[in-house]
């Protein structure tokens, strides 16, 4: 993805020497210039792609004095893109013309022959204003998706976690794509938040999109936005995650579940930095750092024809793998204490610690739902504990499915508990992959999700 988005200026003038002079001046300042020699050509250019500013001549040869053609063009350009700043130029100096141009929406007015310095100042000012307007619009729309409050805690001293923290510090400031892998509840979203927080994009939005939970058409419009009329329900223009995340970070969660067709579109945007809203062919430029996450094994998905290999190579410049909690048991205690602090405060209980039997039960548990399951177990225990309790006992935790050979025999359990134990085992065997577990259990993915939510294994 390009590092910086070029600033693009459209020049409409029917005199080649004027276009050449302006082009040289603007190119020198690092702008990208697109000339149009007629009003029709200017409209075509704007329909085809996004510009930061238009510089328009008010007088075309067919109609050299009234400026009517120039005014018409200006209005049509502004109808196409209401936020586009338009600077008008004219050879005749008339206050009336200037006033009329401003009344019709021009941002500034330049007389020919122009003064280079004054023209550049006008261009720079309008572009900065436009960027500020766009940024605030984007922030408004993005607000609902923004991570609220501080970056979440990332607890742990297990070797894998220490190493992960070092990797994050090292790679966060670059724009490298990051792929985070790991079972459900291992902290992938926490890592994504930290990569963003330690990057130079931290002042910009971090936008999260779940790539798997939506129907293909809806997912596409979530990702790229749509224009009014693009499909039956598209009553207004809508900005998508890519545009919301412009200059910031886009977190694509559950990337393995993204439909193939959408994978192709995503790949194209990542390769070119160009996108279009659904229902529009107008090219927009986005500057986005992509972080993605999955609990699936992408090489397996690729072999099965469900994931594009070329997309994987765009996403996995850096790979961060979070091991399951059962493989970093040394962190269970610190994590449990961390969650205890949070929930004791939230539910106003005087609990400050765990009994030895509670700690032993947590150490022995399999944690198929990983850190999230631990958080839920502690929350439940805090709620279950007697009002005056100052510590959590094993009975408050209700961790019935123990790891290894310690599990209670199925015939000692209620049907519900037996089902839970069984489902957790199947889930653990499939590395937390809900799709595979559901397949083996012969139930639908959504039914399995509901069960897991009941157990507090998933959110």
Residues that bind ligand ATP (CB under 6 A): 152-156, 182, 184-190, 295, 335, 338, 371-372, 375
Cross-strand pairs, 16: none
Q: Measured between alpha carbons, how far apart are the two ends of the chain, in Å?
A: 33
Beta strands 86-90 and 108-111 are: parallel
Give the Cα separation of 38 and 30 in Å (integer).
24
Q: Cα angle vertex 400, ends 334, 356, to 5°?
A: 40
**184 contact, one of ligand ATP, Mg ion, none, CB 5-8 Å limit per kind:** ligand ATP
Please identify, using beta-carbon distances, which residue of 16 and 157 lies nearer to ligand ATP: 157
By CB under 5 A, tell whether 189 contacts Mg ion. Answer: yes
Q: In the complex, what is the shortest distance from the CB of residue 388 to ligand ATP, in angstroms, rounded to a whole number?
A: 28
Restricted to residues 269-328, the positions that interact with Mg ion (CB under 5 A) are none
Q: In the complex, what is the shortest distance from the CB of residue 188 to Mg ion, in angstroms, rounded to a whole number?
A: 5
Q: Alpha carbon 333 to chain centroid distance?
A: 33
Give the Cα separation of 72 and 78 in Å (integer).
10
Decide: 56 and 73 in contact? Cβ < 8 Å.
yes
Please identify, using beta-carbon distances, which residue of 186 and 263 lies nearer to Mg ion: 186
Map residue 36 onto helix, strand or coil. Answer: strand
Ordered DSSP codes for 296-339 = S-HHHHHHTTSS-HHHHHHH-SEEEEPPPGGG-GGGHHHHHHHH
Q: In the complex, what is the shortest distance from the CB of residue 120 to Mg ion, in angstroms, rounded to a whole number?
A: 47
Decide: 195 and 291 in contact? Cβ < 8 Å.
yes
Decide: 222 and 240 in contact? Cβ < 8 Å.
yes
For residue 252, how many C-alpha atoms fall within 13 Å in the half-sphere facing its CB? Answer: 33
Q: In the complex, what is the shortest distance from the CB of residue 192 to Mg ion, in angstroms, rounded to a whole number?
A: 8
**153 contact, one of ligand ATP, Mg ion, none, CB 5-8 Å limit per kind:** ligand ATP
**156 contact, one of Mg ion, ligand ATP, none, CB 5-8 Å limit per kind:** ligand ATP
Please identify, using beta-carbon distances, which residue of 45 and 188 lies nearer to Mg ion: 188
**90 contact, one of ligand ATP, Mg ion, none, CB 5-8 Å limit per kind:** none
Give the Cα separation of 256 and 211 in Å (integer).
8
Supply 245's token pair. Answer: 């995340």
**220 CB-near residues (< 8 Å, 6+ apart):** 262, 265, 278
Supply 217's token pair. Answer: 């058409």
Q: In the complex, what is the shortest distance from the CB of residue 172 to Mg ion, in angstroms, rounded to a whole number?
A: 18
Closest residue to ligand ATP using C-beta atoms: 187
Please identify, using beta-carbon distances, which residue of 43 and 342 lies nearer to ligand ATP: 342
**377 CB-near residues (< 8 Å, 6+ apart):** 362, 365, 397, 398, 399, 456
Number of residues that bind Mg ion (CB under 5 A): 2
Please identify, using beta-carbon distances, which residue of 84 and 452 lies nearer to ligand ATP: 452
By CB under 5 A, tell whether 100 contacts Mg ion. Answer: no
Cross-strand pairs, 6: none
Please identify, using beta-carbon distances, which residue of 46 and 293 lies nearer to Mg ion: 293
**154 contact, one of ligand ATP, Mg ion, none, CB 5-8 Å limit per kind:** ligand ATP
Please identify, using beta-carbon distances, which residue of 187 and 240 lies nearer to ligand ATP: 187
Map residue 98 onto helix, strand or coil. Answer: helix
**126 contact, one of Mg ion, ligand ATP, none, CB 5-8 Å limit per kind:** none
For residue 187, how many C-alpha atoms fall within 13 Å in the half-sphere facing its CB? Answer: 27
Please identify, using beta-carbon distances, which residue of 107 and 372 lies nearer to Mg ion: 372
Q: In the complex, what is the shortest distance from the CB of residue 375 to ligand ATP, in angstroms, rounded to a whole number?
A: 5
Please identify, using beta-carbon distances, which residue of 285 and 339 lies nearer to ligand ATP: 339
By CB under 5 A, tell whether 424 contacts Mg ion. Answer: no
Q: In the complex, what is the shortest distance from the CB of residue 321 to ligand ATP, in angstroms, rounded to a whole number?
A: 11
Q: In the complex, what is the shortest distance from the CB of residue 352 to ligand ATP, in angstroms, rounded to a whole number?
A: 19
**13 contact, one of Mg ion, ligand ATP, none, CB 5-8 Å limit per kind:** none
Per-residue DSSP letter, 183: S
Q: In the complex, what is the shortest distance from the CB of residue 297 to ligand ATP, in angstroms, rounded to a whole number?
A: 14
Please identify, using beta-carbon distances, which residue of 221 and 292 lies nearer to Mg ion: 292
Q: 83-92 burial, b if ≥16 CB within 10 A, otherwise e?
A: ebbbbbbbee
**372 contact, one of Mg ion, ligand ATP, none, CB 5-8 Å limit per kind:** ligand ATP
* Interacting residue ranges for Mg ion, rule: CB under 5 A: 188-189
């Amino acid at each position: 993805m390009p590092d910086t988005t070029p600033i693009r200026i459209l020049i409409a003038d029917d005199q080649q020497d004027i276009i050449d002079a302006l082009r040289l001046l603007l190119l020198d300042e690092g702008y990208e210039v697109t000339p149009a020699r007629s009003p029709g050509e200017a409209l075509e250019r704007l329909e085809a792609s996004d510009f930061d500013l238009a510089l328009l001549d008010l007088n075309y040869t067919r109609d050299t004095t009234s400026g009517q053609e120039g005014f018409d063009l200006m209005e049509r350009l502004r109808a196409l893109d209401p936020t586009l700043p338009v600077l008008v130029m004219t050879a005749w100096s008339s206050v009336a013309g200037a006033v009329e141009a401003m009344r019709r929406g021009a941002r500034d007015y330049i007389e020919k022959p122009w003064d280079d310095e004054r023209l550049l100042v006008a261009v720079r000012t309008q572009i900065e204003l436009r960027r500020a307007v766009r940024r605030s619009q984007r922030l408004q729309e993005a607000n609902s998706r923004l991570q609220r409050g501080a970056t979440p805690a990332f607890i742990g001293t297990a070797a894998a976690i220490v190493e992960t923290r070092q990797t994050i510090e090292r790679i966060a400031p670059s724009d490298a794509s990051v792929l985070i892998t790991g079972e459900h509840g291992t902290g992938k979203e926490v890592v994504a938040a930290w990569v963003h927080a330690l990057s130079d994009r931290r002042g910009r939005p971090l936008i999260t999109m779940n790539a798997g939970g939506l129907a293909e058409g809806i997912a596409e419009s979530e990702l790229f936005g749509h224009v009014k009329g693009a499909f039956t329900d598209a009553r207004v223009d809508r900005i998508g995650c890519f545009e919301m995340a412009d200059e910031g970070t886009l977190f694509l969660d559950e990337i393995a579940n993204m439909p193939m067709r959408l994978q192709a579109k995503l790949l194209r945007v990542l390769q070119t930095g160009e996108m279009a809203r659904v229902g529009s062919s107008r090219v927009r430029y986005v500057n986005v750092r992509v972080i993605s996450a999955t609990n699936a094994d992408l090489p397996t998905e690729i072999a099965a024809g469900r994931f594009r290999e070329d997309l994987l190579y765009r996403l996995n410049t850096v790979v961060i793998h979070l091991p399951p909690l059962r493989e970093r048991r040394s962190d269970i205690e610190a994590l449990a204490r961390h969650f205890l602090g949070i929930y004791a405060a939230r539910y106003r209980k005087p609990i400050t610690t765990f009994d030895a039997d509670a700690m032993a039960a947590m150490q022995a548990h399999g944690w198929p739902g990983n850190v999230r399951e631990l958080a839920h177990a502690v929350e439940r225990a805090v709620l279950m504990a007697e009002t005056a309790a100052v510590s959590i006992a094993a009975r408050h935790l209700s961790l019935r499915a123990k790891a290894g050979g310690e599990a209670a025999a199925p015939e000692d359990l209620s049907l519900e508990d037996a089902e839970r134990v069984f489902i957790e085992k199947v889930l653990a065997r499939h590395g937390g992959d809900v799709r595979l577990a559901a397949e083996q259990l012969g139930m639908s993915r959504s039914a399995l999700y509901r069960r897991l939510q009941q157990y507090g294994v998933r959110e």
